[in-house]
Amino acid sequence: MKKLLTISTQDYLKHIYELTEHNAPASTNTLAARLKVRPASVTGMIQKLANEKPALVEYQKHQGVTLTKEGRRAALEVIRHHRLLETWLVQTLGYSWDEVHEEAERLEHVISEDFEQRVAEALGHPLRDPHGELIPTANLEMPLEDATPLSTLRKNQRGTIVSVRDADADLLRYLERLGLIPNTHIEAIDYSPFDHNLTIKVGEQTRVLGLSVTNKILIKED
């Protein structure tokens, strides 16, 4: 007897999850920007979510918002849907890496538990989606991230790209052109401590990447 949440509520929870993932409560304004809604609307919605029983968010006026246990589970459910869907759309309908997001964004709210299970099964219970993001488990826990930002790689170290985080479609297309997609093997050939630029070798190519990019790419050293 799980409570049914509106699409809008699911979206709020998902975005709150993402904004609070690295500690720190989410502010009304950033949430409003993410949701493409006015700050006043966010305040209203948050107040409702905080007064549900059980409460989905923890909220003190002017102090930002965090998820409760219930809220977190609901958020992880949506995120699991999203990431499974992206994986599935890429694998079975030939969507490209950067096209799937929008489609999954709409589907994630309407698929059944049964559908979720069938897709997970069909995909062999994948750990990561096509961007390399971790997929929450069936019992709604987020696996630990065992990859590290590319920005921590230093001269002569090698690694394999695992994930590209928080990237918009433009950046994804850019990275795809550079061949910087999950499973690609790379080697750091230079690092500048001044501007934090990292020079890497990707296959035959040499690329120089700034911090804003190297921070978004996760790798596993090898």
Partner DNA sequence: AACTTTATTTAGCCTTACCTAAATCAATTT
Partner DNA sequence: AAATTGATTTAGGTAAGGCTAAATAAAGTT
Estimate to the nearest angstrom the gap between the alpha carbon of 20 and the chain centroid. Answer: 12
Closest C-alpha to 167, from 183, 154, 180: 180
Which one of DNA, a second copy, none is in contact with 47 (Cβ closer than 5 to 8 A by kind)? Answer: DNA
> Rounded to the nearest whole angstrom, what is the least distance from the CB of residue 86 to a second copy in the complex?
13
Contacts of 96 (CB under 8 A, 6+ apart): 90, 176
- Looking at 24, 33, 40, 122, which residue binds a second copy (CB under 8 A)? 122
- Looking at 48, 106, 154, 155, which residue binds a second copy (CB under 8 A)? 106
Show the site string, 61-100: x = touches a second copy by CB under 8 A, - = not. -------------------------------xxxx---x-
CA angle 74, 16, 97 (to 5 degrees): 85
Q: According to the binding rule CB under 8 A, does residue 125 interact with a second copy?
A: no
Phi, psi of 15 (to 5 degrees): -70, -35
Q: According to the binding rule CB under 7 A, does residue 75 interact with DNA?
A: no
How many other β-carbons are positioned within 10 Å of the β-carbon of residue 11? 21
Show the site string, 38-67: x = touches DNA by CB under 7 A, - = not. xxxxxxxxxxx----------x-xxxx---
DSSP, collapsed to helix, strand or coil, labels residue 94 as coil
Q: According to the binding rule CB under 7 A, does residue 9 interact with DNA?
A: yes
